[in-house]
Structure formats: C-alpha cells, structure tokens
Amino acid sequence: MSVRFLHDRGVIARYREFLPVTDATPVISLNEGSTPLIHSPRLSEIVGRGCKVFVKYEGLNPTGSFKDRGMTMAISKAIEDGAKAVICASTGNTSAAAAAYAARAGVECIVLLPAGKIAMGKLVQAFIYGAKVVAIEGNFDDALRLVRELGATGRVAIVNSINPHRIEGQKTASFEIIEELGDAPDVHILPVGNAGNISAYWKGYREFRDLNRSTKQPRMIGFQASGAAPIFHNRIVENPETLASAIRIGNPASWQFATAALRESGGSIHIVTDEEILEAQRWLASKEGIFVEPASAASIAGLFKCAAQIAAESTVVCTVTGHGLKDPDIAREQCGGVIPAKAEMGAILKLLGWE
Ligand SMILES: *Cc1c(COP(=O)(O)O)cnc(C)c1O
C-alpha cells in the first residue's frame, strides 16, 4: 500500500475539485468523512406510505462529530496562511475537532468554553489533544464574541463556523449522500444550533444540483431545542437552556444563511423539547443500535414530530451529528443501573426468572 493511497482519504482528498484548495494548501486530515448512511427500517415504517429513512451517522468521524469535516478545511487553510495558533468558542465538539487538527498540524489551539456547560467526553478531548482550555463565566454566545475580538488582534486564526472554510468542508456531507443514494433525498432533517451545518448542507446540495450530479434538492427541515430556539422564534434568546448542549445557542452565527436555506429549499424550522430529545435518543439506541448525543437526537425527535407531513414515497435523510459517548452522563441518568448479584449460578438464574 502506498503512502499516497493512505492520504487519498478525508474530505479534501475526496472532494478537492469542489473546495477552495490549491497545490499550496497543506492537507491536514484525519481521514474524516465517508461516514455511514444507514437505512432505518423502523423509522421508515413509522413514517410509512412508502417513505425510506436513512440516518447519516456523523458520530463516526475521527473526533466523534461532523465538526471534523469543517475543521480539516479550516486548519489546512490556516496553516496555508501561516497561522501559528488557532482559536474557537465551543459548546464542546468544535473544540474537540480544533484541538485534534491543531495537534496534527503542530500549532497551538486555544478554546473558550462556557464554564460548567461542556459534556465530559468533549472536555476530555480538548485536554488530551493538548489545547489550552479557558472556561469563561458566560455562555457560548459570550465566548464567540470574545473569540471575534481576539481574532481581530491578528495573533490567532478563528476556526469557528464564522470562518467560511468550515462551511466549505461541511458541505461534503451532502456530496456523500447524493453519491450514495444516486440522487439528493426529498427531505433532509437536522438539528440546528449555530446554524452552520444546515447552511453547509444546503450549499452542498445546491452545488451538486448546479453540476447536474443530482436531479433535485431536498426540503431542509431544522429542529432547535425549545429552550434555545432563536430562529424558530425569530429573536435572540438571551439565556438559552437545553440539555442538548451542542445546540444551546441563543444567537446563531449563520442565522441569515440558515434562513436563506429554509426559504430556498421550501423547508421549515421547528422545535422539540428536551423530553422528546431524550426519548428519541433512547429510541434510536435501543431500536436501531445507533447511539448519538442529545443534540443529534433532535433530528430523530423532529422526524417523529413531522412524519405525517412528509409526502408519500419520500426519501428522507436525518443527520445525527455526534457520537453518544460524547455525553455519557446524560445517557447514564436516564438508564436503569446494574443488577447486583452474587457470583452464583442459582442467584443469576433467579434474577433472570429462569428457575
Ligand atoms: C455543532 C453541533 C450541532 C449544531 O450544528 P450547527 O452547525 O451549530 O447548527 C449539532 N449537533 C452536534 C453534535 C454538534 O456538535
């Protein structure tokens, strides 16, 4: 196997011609992308009327979320531009991805997090990849405001999704879906936080349609958590609240792009409660064997909610954005505990009811 083959993976290698890279761009990749598009017989049955539902499992990216697609682009371009350090605000997954790709590139990574609000798995990732982790007394929107100001000093490159290279990288998920299905789906459902991902998917779908690589474009259907739904309510939420920490955002950076995606695609935005999110998380894990973090389950909760409105015979894709192991605490709280037993056959037969 040649070394070149090993590096011919990752979204920049796979979709180089559709991305703003040149021979001068060093490719910083961890072989992200090419995630599974899993057909879900049970979700298809629930929607019914001949609809087919697929789950795009972005938790299988190298750091466990779709953020890796954007980060390979953002870090590669930052290195091309001579950056020695990168910075981001994060609800957790952006910092995990930034820290990993910065480590790979050999540059410093600084992350600004809302204190006490980051899921354990994501925090541990930032530490182990060697980022400088600063916890501010404020929420994500405060952290992003500070990052914009720090970026303006010219000393660090910002790798939040206000960096347009992030959106470029993330649009590759649409390309993969089109290639796998042979066409674009009819409906695409995803969770919305800072709204970069819905904007990126729509950009990807539009580009492949323009290149005649697909015959149609999906309706983009976004779901926000009911306590953090600025786009749905069309106003900034000062104190966003949801246990789906990855979408706990009150003033999305890509608000305008997202609104355009909804309008142009004939789509819409809705809300789901934390209870609905947790129920969908448990459902997807226990019925289909797919464990996702709470924010990701918003797209499944959303599908349950809008199933009746989906036209017959539709192909539906739900993006599940991050891996369940990112946030073990919330999952653990909802599950039954272990069953204690003596190390004796009789005791175990008894508790299994097999006596
Ligand atoms: C970042 C993230 C989101 C939200 O994506 P936006 O682009 O901010 O809308 C949803 N789920 C997970 C797991 C995330 O990491």
Across 344-348, average pLDDT: 95
Q: How far is the CA of 122 from the centre of ligand 1 (A)?
A: 13
Q: Separation of 87 CA from ligand 1 center, angstroms?
A: 18
CA 64 – CA 139 distance, rounded (Å): 23
Band of the pLDDT at 7, cuts 50, 70, 90? very low
Residue 243 is encoded by which pair of tokens? 């246990």
Please give the distance, rounded to the nearest whole angstrom, from the Cα atom of residue 266 to the centre of ligand 1.
22
How far does the centroid of ligand 1 lie from the alpha carbon of residue 215, in Å? 28
Q: Which of 71, 90, 192 to mutate to test the pocket of ligand 1 (most atoms within 8 A of CB)?
A: 192
Is residue 161 over pLDDT 90? no
For ligand 1, residues with CB inside 6 Å are 65, 67, 93, 161, 191-197, 246-247, 293, 295-296, 321-322
**pTM of this structure:** 0.94
User: Which residue out of 35, 56, 63, 65 has the highest number of ligand 1 atoms within 8 Å of its CB and is therefore the one to mutate?
Assistant: 65
- pLDDT value at residue 39: 97
Confidence band, pLDDT 50/70/90 cuts, at residue 1: very low
Q: How far is the CA of 245 from the centre of ligand 1 (A)?
A: 9
Residue 73 contacts residue 19 (beta carbons within 8 Å): yes
Which residue is closest in CA terms to ligand 1's atom 14?
246
Structure-model confidence comparison of residues 337 and 150, the more confident one = 150
Q: How many residues in total does the chain contain?
A: 355
Contact 202, 264 (CB under 8 A): yes
**pLDDT digits 0-9 by tens, 246-302:** 999 999 999 999 999 999 999 999 999 999 999 999 999 999 999 999 999 999 999
In the predicted structure, residue 175 carries a pLDDT above the cut 70 = yes
CA 39, distance to chain mean position in Å, is 19
Give the closest residue (by CA) to ligand 1 atom 2. Answer: 246
Number of other residues whose CB lies within 10 A of the CB of residue 161: 28
In this predicted structure, the answer to whether residue 4 has a pLDDT above a threshold of 80 is: no
22 CB burial (10 A radius; 0-12, 13-18, 19+): exposed
Pair 224, 332: CB distance under 8 Å: no
Q: How close is the Cα of 258 to the center of ligand 1, in Å?
A: 13
Q: Please answer whether residues 252 and 224 qualify as being in contact, where contact means their C-beta atoms are separated by less than 8 angstroms.
A: no
